[in-house]
Chain A
């Protein structure tokens, strides 16, 4: 087994075996349950059509998945550094690329768990399965790069900032800013600023693709730009994480402060 796979397996175990990881998954399930009850039980929200409800639930799943990956990313570098686990890891023979890939593999497992948890909710709110296939495909293709980009960016921030708390706060603020398309009203999104923001924002890319696939019933072939956008952000975040964990080059530069 390669070091990257070993690290990914350990990260996955951390999520599924440690009380902290299980608590995160339970919390995510709780949020999805609350939102599903709101969608189904509220008189006003109950008027939304089936596709719109599935789209909203899928958007929330991406946000929660990105949050989970972000927390995991902060913990993977800044948290491990504070617990004294990063130093022995960097002193092993594992290449830095394997360490970053392994961590991202763990975040991919966390996102997979998130997808698995969200599937029954998507099925339930979509009137027993309508639009479920399109939503799951959209989440897989567009949600995965967004969640992994959040995780990788959090790793990069965790390596740059001195404490895990500072890294977590900075990452959460960044996530709120980037995920703002989920909160913006339609009129603001159609302004020039909103359209420019939409054109480059990874969350916009993912939610617009979901919108097109689930609500408008468009095919996957029409989502090329959205796919390129989310993949570009993933690539950028991965490069940033790799750069943050590379061996130091300038005098005084270090990773394990």
Chain B
């Protein structure tokens, strides 16, 4: 039922950029920023950008809050926005929404400047802020119908119920929101963001207060929206597990600067190999540890019921485990041992000297120095 209200997924393409030919130089994204499998084979076409932020600088009360933020979210892509507390994630979101004027930099929301774009542009956007901000005396269904009017896309009771069902609030509770649990409130806030079938979803800590099942359900919903409906998702969170589970790309902010942006697998893989401890419930097959294995891993430690392996940079653990299981390895548990996204994040956000800008960052810095472009 909800599908009926989804606008044509391919309606927007102002920022679609071909990687081939001269246009390749116009793509502001770093080479790794397209989600895995997103680049159409043979064509070199990247998915269109829903949100593009370049060289963003913001001052609040004469204090620089953002120094050089770069962020891109493409259609059908889940982008994780990471960073320590106070790194500037929420300020970045405010600038993306056109609620704050940057000192310099370029913000493009659906290809337009959010500060001057018509109000109707915001109907294509769904926002889940950190606080719920619900109307306490309204029931969930009434609240969604009220919100749909604000977005200019009226919603019937059946559609509201379907939307509540989609976020796991079925049957629709007849209670006012004031009597909802924290998890129910978060789900309703997510449903509110989906009410106008947005093309871009911006979520600030959406899984706060959700139980494990609700959290998984919400993450699957977000991934489904991105994969099936082409919605771009910007997920701002401190939960690296959530990021690892659904994000295609990440951007890491430290002290108001983007210190890393790109495809999750490539960034984390590039940062180093990943070490895992595999628990076995039986002996390994005879040829298991023979030399010349084509698998991108090496054994670093072996015991009777356990083996430690190190995957090569860029290797996908799930694929390796599947191959090993098919080869007869009696793996009953695989546990990450350091490495991976957490180690990558901690290394980037470790207190110390300011991280040197990446090449793309330096280019954006140069653009800033040339003067305001927004």
Contacts and interface: CB of A to CB of B under 8 A. Distances in A.
17 contacts: A3-B150, A3-B152, A10-B146, A84-B130, A84-B132, A87-B127, A90-B99, A92-B122, A92-B151, A93-B121, A93-B150, A247-B98, A247-B115, A248-B100, A248-B101, A249-B101, A254-B94
Given A248-B101, A251-B101, A254-B99, 16 more contacts: A3-B150, A6-B150, A17-B137, A84-B132, A87-B133, A88-B127, A92-B122, A93-B150, A93-B151, A93-B152, A249-B115, A251-B58, A251-B59, A251-B102, A251-B103, A252-B58
Nearest to B372: A251
B136 A91 contact: no
Given A3-B149, A248-B115, A80 B133 contact: yes
Nearest to A99: B150
B60 A13 contact: no
Contacts of A88: 127-129, 133, 189, 192-193
Contacts of B130: 84
B321 interface: no
Contacts of B128: 88
Nearest to A82: B131
Nearest to A17: B137
A153 B58 CA distance: 29
B119 interface: yes
Contacts of A6: 146, 149-150
A91 B95 CA distance: 11
4 closest A-B pairs by beta carbon, nearest first, are A84-B131, A85-B133, A93-B123, A84-B133
Contacts of B94: 254, 256
B134 interface: yes
A88 B151 CA distance: 11
A255 interface: yes
Nearest to A84: B131
Contact of A91 (B97, B101, B149): B97
B290 to A, nearest CB: 58
A196 interface: no
Contacts of A254: 60, 94, 99-101
Contacts of B152: 3, 93-94
Interface string A52-87: 000000000000000000000000000010011111
B29 to A, nearest CB: 24
A164 B41 CA distance: 55
Given A7-B150, A251-B59, A251-B103, A92 B133 contact: no
A236 interface: no
Nearest to B123: A93
Contacts of B254: none
A6 B143 CA distance: 11
Interface string B327-354: 0000000000000000000000000000
Contact of B147 (A92, A95, A252, A253): A92
A149 B167 CA distance: 42
A7 B152 CA distance: 12
Interface string B224-253: 000000000000000000000000000000
B99 A94 contact: no
A89 interface: yes
A43 interface: no
Interface in B134-182: 134-138, 146-147, 149-152, 154
B76 to A, nearest CB: 22
Interface in A11-45: 13-14, 17-18
Contacts of B189: 88
Nearest to A255: B99
Given A13-B137, A18-B137, A83-B131, A248 B151 contact: no
B120 interface: yes
A91 B123 contact: no
Most buried by B among A17, A18, A87, A92: A92
B125 interface: yes
Contact of B129 (A2, A87, A247): A87
A91 B119 contact: no
A243 B94 CA distance: 19
Nearest to B131: A84
A218 B132 CA distance: 53
A184 interface: no
A19 to B, nearest CB: 8
Contacts of B100: 248, 252-254
A177 interface: no
Interface string B23-56: 0000000000000000000000000000000000
